[in-house]
Structure 1
Amino acid sequence: MSLQDPSPLELSRRRLRASRSRRSTLTALASTLVFAVVLYLVITNAPGWPRTQQTFFNPQVAWDSLPKVLEGLWLNIRVLAVAAVCTLALALVVAVLRTLRGPVWLPLRLLATGFVDLFRGIPLIVLLYLIGFGVPALRFTDSRIDPVILGTVALVLTYAAYVSEVFRAGIDSVHPSQRLGARSLGLSYGQSMKLVVLPQAVRRVTPPLLNDFVAMQKDVGLISLLGPLDAVRAAQISSQSAFNFTPYVVAALLFVLLSVPTARLADWASARAARREQSGAAL
């Protein structure tokens, strides 16, 4: 046996860990299966299940409404892409403004703080109504403003207020010695922030940023309140035409399928960050 080969004791420990892992996996699968069977039996044996199945889980209605709901979901995806990029940019600017030092920057700090307090305090559904119906009433232009644009603006303002606090927490988590070291090398405040502080801050706050993105994926459906034909609005129209709630279930499942990959990515990023911290690696 060479020096690189594991000892018999280490091999036995590995076998024990593998055995425990297999046993834990089997136990988890068995308990999940039992729970699913019990839940299925409880629901299907309820007195109102036949009526509920016909009203919410009608296969024919689901198939007929699927194309329209999918077409509306494509609008939600486009709004989500634009809103996510704009939110990150605006939130980063607000976070940097809140971290400026010196009395000369007090007006900008107050402006950024007021932005966060205002749009973090207003419920998104209320802000959608205020922007969706209030801005057109001002008549900035003679043409009608697209409600999709107004809904996207409301999403960006709300989530930028939350995401800016995430960015600010990441900036504050960077040790002051990093800034001092950058300044001692001759970098300006902007250069040290861009080259030293922000890269570390963004890596540290990636998991919560992904969680906010998952939340935005769900809330993007609220733009239907302003009238755009998105997935929720398409489900509503199909539901009213068929006198059945199955299209809402179809829309809900599509939103779940849209958010699950991002949720798993957020879990992976959180676990990766935790492993780095435990191993003492630099973030």
Structure 2
Amino acid sequence: MDRLERLGDLLFNVEIIVDTLPVLFTEGLLITLIISVGGMLIGLVAGTVLAMIGVSQRWWVRLPSRIFVDLFRGLPAILVIFLVGFGLPAAGFRPFGREVIAYATLALGIIATAYVTEILRAGIQSVDKGQMEAARSLGMSRLEALWLVVVPQGFRRVLPPLTNEFIALTKDSSLVFILGLTLGERDLFRIGQQTATQTGNMSGLIAAGLFYLAITIPLTRIVNYMDTRMREGRPVAAKELPTTAEVS
């Protein structure tokens, strides 16, 4: 019984959790969202471009997209973060000066780009070829037809996996702690980790986990809803159904 009590106090010390929550909310949540949303925006922009390159009819045009996707999907996220956060400055490339948050966002953006590219490529290729042919028959170039007709349709089809990618990216943002985030720029995990180190108690990490769940669980429900909606279509209310008299 004593062991269970010690375990409970180690993981669920109410006093430590309550003391940690304000810092997690005012600092950790903001930084985590900045890094995650920023990385996803980079992924969406760069991923759209690479996906369009990836569906080119010429193999030598597709090759750079394929190499990028294979490379950064194959590397562990923590290694990419380390290479961007420490490797670029060590090599003399300091586009963001000493702004660690910017390097962290860029690293997550590179990771997101690799996955978003593949998701969008699959979405683009799932669009019926007749859409491209119809757009070309109206005088559009292949690039115009791809950008204005095919990509928007493909994007709509891959909203659930894109949302899943944002969930994964939010969780991967916890790995940026290796860059040494300091006071004022700490993400949720970093705050929980430092609290655990200072108190010798894991309750700070549990509190951080609650914030991650507050982000990921609603997004998971949204993904499930979108997936069901796309598979089953919009339910038709009884009042929308035509009556026998209207049909006749």
Compare relative contact order (CA 8 Å, sep 6+) and give the higher one, 1 or 2.
Answer: 2
Residue 72 (structure 1) aligns with: 28
Q: 1:187 to 1:275 in 2, by over 3 A?
A: same
| Alignment-derived partner of residue 70 in structure 2 | 117
For residue 189 of structure 2, the aligned residue among 224, 229, 232 is 232
Write the deviation string for residues 193-218 of structure 1: whole angstroms up to 9, x where unpaired: 12211111011111111111111121
8 Å CA contact 2:11–2:201 kept in 1: the answer is: yes
Structure 1 counterpart of 2:117: 164
Distance in 2 separating the partners of 1:74 and 1:142: 23
Mapped partners of 2:4, 2:48: distance in 1: 50
Per the alignment, in what secondary structure is the counterpart of residue 233 of structure 2? helix
CA contact 2:85–2:103 (8 Å) conserved in 1: yes
Alignment correspondent of 2:171: 218
Normalization by structure 2: what TM-score?
0.87
C-alpha distance in structure 2 between counterparts of 1:202 and 1:162, whole Å: 14
Q: 2:15 aligns with which of 53, 57, 60?
A: 60
- With 64-73 and 254-263 compared, the bigger mean Cα shift is at 64-73
- Structure 2 counterpart SS, 1:201: helix
Task: Give the superposition deviation at 1:148.
Answer: 1.4
Cα gap change, 1:117/1:191 in structure 2, threshold over 3 Å: closer, same or farther? same
Question: CA–CA distance in 1 between the matches of 2:54 and 2:94?
Answer: 33
Which structure 2 residues correspond to residues 84-233 of structure 1 after superposition, within 5 A? 84-102=40-58, 106-141=59-94, 144-228=97-181, 229-233=186-190
SS of the counterpart of 1:84? Answer: helix
Structure 2 Cα separation of the partners of residues 207 and 143 of structure 1: 33
SS in 2 for 1:187: coil
Matched, 1:270 2:227: yes
Please state how far the C-alpha of 1:107 moved relative to its aligned partner. Answer: 3.5
Q: Cα RMSD between the aligned structures?
A: 2.0
Amino acid paired to 1:191: E
Unaligned runs of 5+ in 1: 1-45
Match of 2:215 in 1: 258
How far apart in 2 are the matches of 1:262 and 1:118? 28
For residue 243 of structure 1, what is the amino acid of its counterpart?
A: G
- Alpha-carbon deviation of 1:63? 1.0
Aligned length: 231
Q: CA deviation at 1:180?
A: 0.9
Q: Deviations over 1:162-194 (max 9, x none)?
A: 111110111111111111111011111122112
Give the aligned partner of residue 4 of structure 1: none
Q: Hey, what does 1:35 align to over in structure 2?
A: none
For each residue in 1:85-130, what CA deviation from the matched residue of structure 2 results, as whole angstroms up to 9, or x when unmatched?
A: 111111111110011124xxx4331111110111011010111111
With over 3 angstroms needed to count, the CA separation of the structure-2 counterparts of 1:162 and 1:142, relative to structure 1, is: closer
Q: Distance in 2 between matches of 1:143 and 1:175?
A: 43
C-alpha deviation, 1:48, in angstroms: 2.4
Q: CA contact under 8 A between 1:69 and 1:232: conserved in structure 2?
A: no
Task: Give the C-alpha shift of residue 278 in structure 1.
Answer: 11
- 2:89 maps to a residue whose letter is P
